[in-house]
Structure 1
Amino acid sequence: MRAPLILIAGLAVAGAAWAGNCPVDMKAIDAKLAAKPTLSKEDADKVAKLRKSGEDHHKAGKHAESMKDLGEAKKILGI
């Protein structure tokens, strides 16, 4: 009986930690964009789309999808 409870508690803590990274990544992307990096129009549009999608996924509780989109935006920005 104890093992399943420990597993559930561990997953809850891990989920909260994972969710906490989304806003940090969004702030990093926003800061880099504020510095006016040199990007092609296509890359700038893609970063904006990924940033918006990441925020939408975060708000919907889909943190894995959020981190995927935000990670891709960060990669384009060289973060």
Structure 2
Amino acid sequence: MSPLLISLLLAGATPAVADDSGGLIRKICMSSFAAAMASAGKTAPDGMADFTCNCFLDEVNSGTGLDMAQSRCKSRAAAEFAVE
């Protein structure tokens, strides 16, 4: 998870902000996803970034902690897109 995302959430950007239907938190998630894939030297399958970030926003909006939301969504995306 990017330090910026963590800072925003700790500074009061609560799930209400994440619930802005594709706003700042989603943009940060998409950017973080792209950076993680680039760092791993991999190309994500089409739709994987959207799936992962939608999952993350849904989890956070339902009250799941950031680390748990990230972990759950990475696992779900890996299973959904058959990625190891």
State the TM-score, normalized to the length of structure 2: 0.35
Structure with the greater alpha carbon radius of gyration: 1
State the TM-score, normalized to the length of structure 1: 0.36
Would you tell me which structure has more helix in proportion to its own residues? 1
